[in-house]
């Protein structure tokens, strides 16, 4: 596979991934609303959301989507690296993105309901650990990417946007109340912006 094909594949993976994840979460939240309500979810307090969707009657769809989204993140990261300036910061940020993809794949392990009378299970602990991995890798990756972007005119205008996004996303990721919806929306939009810029760059390089 040529460099151009690799970057194109990465761009499309970056475009498809957030749309897939966002669409599945939205649709399953509507379809499994009664189930989610039964385990404690409320619109203003997204308890066990979106992970709890994988426990519902159509949970296998959410599980497959977690796996597919993680794989798409890894594919995106691999091609993304080829479009960035060389240097240690770029390499570290990309490896952090890859680890975030691995963390997303780890979410296929079933979560434990927050409201329960039983001890935590091993798969619930693995799920929570994978969720933590995403937060501890994705957001540092975004911070570093902001510095990397400033070194390349093709990406420079997205540096401040990236820093603003991660600054607003950090507290909403850990709060896990209504603000968590904002975190998910902001990150999915950021991924789309990065992917479309990558696609524009590769198309510009090929002309």
pLDDT single digits (tens) 8-21:
999 999 999 999 99
CA distances from 61 to 56, 95, 162 (A): 10, 28, 30
User: pLDDT over 90 for what percent of the chain?
Assistant: 77
User: Angle at Cα 169 formed by Cα 36 and Cα 127, nearest 5°?
Assistant: 45
pLDDT single digits (tens) 187-201:
999 999 999 999 999
pLDDT single digits (tens) 48-75:
999 999 999 999 999 999 999 999 999 9
Helical H segments across 54-178, by residue range:
59-81, 88-106, 122-149, 159-175
Residue 176's pLDDT is 66
Across the chain, mean pLDDT equals 92
Confidence of residue 173 (pLDDT cuts 50, 70, 90): confident
Give the predicted TM-score (pTM) of the model.
Answer: 0.93
Cα gap 3→93, rounded to integer Å: 20
Cα–Cα nearest to 161, from 170, 176, 149, 172? 149
- Render 38-60 in DSSP notation, one character per residue: HTT--SSS-TTTTGGGGGSTTHH
């Amino acid at each position: 596979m040529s460099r151009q094909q690799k970057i194109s594949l990465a761009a499309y993976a970056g475009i498809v991934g957030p749309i897939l994840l966002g669409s599945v979460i939205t649709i399953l939240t509507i379809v499994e609303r009664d189930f989610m309500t039964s385990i404690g979810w409320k619109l203003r307090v997204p308890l066990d959301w979106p992970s709890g969707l994988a426990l519902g009657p159509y949970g296998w769809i959410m599980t497959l989507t977690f796996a597919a989204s993680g794989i798409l993140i890894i594919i995106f990261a691999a091609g993304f690296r080829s479009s960035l300036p060389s240097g240690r910061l770029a390499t570290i940020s990309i490896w952090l993105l890859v680890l975030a993809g691995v963390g997303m794949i780890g979410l296929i392990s079933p979560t434990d309901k927050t409201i329960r009378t039983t001890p935590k299970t091993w798969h619930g602990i693995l799920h929570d650990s994978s969720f933590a991995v995403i937060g501890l890798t994705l957001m540092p990756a975004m911070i570093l990417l902001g510095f990397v972007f400033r070194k390349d005119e093709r990406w420079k205008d997205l540096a401040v946007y990236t820093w603003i996004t991660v600054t607003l996303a950090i507290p909403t990721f850990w709060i896990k109340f209504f603000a968590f919806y904002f975190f998910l929306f902001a990150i999915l939009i950021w991924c789309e912006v990065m992917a479309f810029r990558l696609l524009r760059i590769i198309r510009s390089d090929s002309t």
